[in-house]
Homo-oligomer: A and B are copies of this chain.
Amino acid sequence: MSQIGEHLRELRRRRHLGIRELAARSGISHSTISLIERDRISPSVDTLSAILDALGTTLPGFFSGITSVVPSSPFYSSRDCIEIGNHDSISYRMLGVNFPNRTVLMLHETYAPGADTGEAFSHQAQEAGFVMTGAVELTVGSESRVLMPGDGYYFDSRSPHRFRNVSNEASQIISAVTPPTY
């Protein structure tokens, strides 16, 4: 929304390009670019991608350069941690909701007895965590192991992985994923 227009305009100016010239190179009309740069419209990903192409940039590069200037409070009480799981048998409570340019996804995970994530496949990221309560069977690739409180894990998320609560009480894990693609 906000910084996109400003950021785009700066990228263009840095290359000493006019709006019309950028339009010609990207195949997007100059009026559209003008509107985007002044935050009058929110471009589609296709449109933005075409423009960035002409600037020699990429979508990841573009968004990694955006930094919010809004400072947020460093403290998060229990109720500030928003739920991003499916509520039923598995709870994922996320930390740092409004943190600008968050680079790590920190979670407080709670699994009901018998809860199972099912197999999840490659997202390019790294995952680490400690088991706090209960007992969790973690499968990564073809390996499997039951982790007890105090134990932990660290694996590349590109390997298919799966968590299963094998205790008869709630299992809790504190985990971190970076980049926060989960």
Contacts and interface: CB of A to CB of B under 8 A. Distances in A.
B181 A11 contact: yes
A44 B74 CA distance: 31
Contact of A176 (B42, B128, B141): B128
B14 A69 contact: no
Number of copies: 2
Contacts of A161: 74
Given A1-B45, A86-B16, A71 B156 contact: yes
A182 B56 contact: yes
A16 B101 contact: no
A92 B20 CA distance: 19
Contacts of A178: 103-104, 176, 178
